[in-house]
Amino acid sequence: MPLSLTQTCSSGTLLMLLVSNLLLWEKVASAPMNVSEAGLSKVSLKDLFDNATALAENITELATEMRLEFFHDKFSSEIFNKIILDLSKKNKMAELVNSCHTLPIKTPDTTEEVRNTTIEGFLKLTLSILHAWKDPLKHLVAELSAMPEAPHVILSKAKAIEAQHKIFLEEIVRIVSKVNPAIKETEDPPVWSDLESLRAADEEIRFFALYLFSYCLRLDLRIVEFYVNILKCIFINGDICYVF
């Protein structure tokens, strides 16, 4: 259930979402669902959501592990710890989220916006965010592979995340095609433009790009995990969404 997110919450956006949970449950549970009942087998939709939530949890965990490895492995630990220290000294931790390439994807921030987000809206957001990470993940694996000093433990996490991301995205696409095939990702997928930085000869630029990448990836995956749990709750559990 989405509540597990409270333990790992650090973004204002996500916090806002969590604060708004109760209101959201009330709204969505009472709202009529625009789902074509004919094409919707409840059993298989439940199976799809069971898989999707398991995949969401798994990939978020992998992203967390990769970020922790960056902090602990001698490859990056010194510079990552320096970055975090600098950011907190300058009180810039909270602003980091504004540097994520998925920023243009308009996620609900305020209570009212969350209340106004429909099932279709959450699916569209999930699709858009996941899609926006497809190319960056491919590049991350390629660039880490090209860094001779990058440790196997980090590279293998990156590869696992890329592989799991593909499976996860496919599962979401299957859900979308069942719920409402008209749902599409955002018209203008956000552009990730950190490839130059990932390749930079300057160590500080390169590692900051890795820092930002691992930060934003983990944050977005947690948001997606939250959305998938909301959706599962709405579709599968119905009234239980009130009492967590």
Ligand X SMILES: *[C@@H]1O[C@H](CO)[C@@H](O)[C@H](O)[C@H]1NC(C)=O
Number of residues near ligand X (by CB under 6 A): 17
In the structure encoding, which two tokens stand for residue 48, read together? 């799809």
Binding flag, residue 34, ligand X (CB under 6 A): yes
Torsion sign (Cα): 242, 124, 68, 167: positive
* Stretch 138-177: interaction string toward ligand X, x if CB under 6 A: ----------------------x--xx------x------
Chosen residue from 14, 17, 24, 55 binding ligand X by CB under 6 A: 55
| Footprint of ligand X on 177-196 (CB under 6 A) | 180, 182
CA distance 151 to 173: 33
Residue 29 CA to residue 233 CA, distance in Å, equals 9
- Whether the CB-CB separation of 179 and 123 falls below 8 Å is answered with yes
State how far the alpha carbon of 72 is from the alpha carbons of 66, 81, 216, in Å.
10, 9, 18
- Tell the smallest beta-carbon distance from residue 23 to ligand X (Å): 12
Nearer to ligand X, 54 or 103 (CB): 54
> Of 3, 31, 54, 93, which one interacts with ligand X (CB under 6 A)?
54
Ramachandran angles phi, psi of 169, nearest 5°: -60, -40
- Residue 38 or 182: the one with the smaller Cβ distance to ligand X is 182
**Residue 26 is labelled as binding a ligand:** no
Token code pair at residue 202: 């300057």
Which amino acid type is present at position 227?
Y
- Applying CB under 6 A, the residues found at the interface with ligand X are 34, 44, 47-48, 51, 54-55, 58, 112-113, 116, 160, 163-164, 171, 180, 182
Extract the annotated binding site: 225
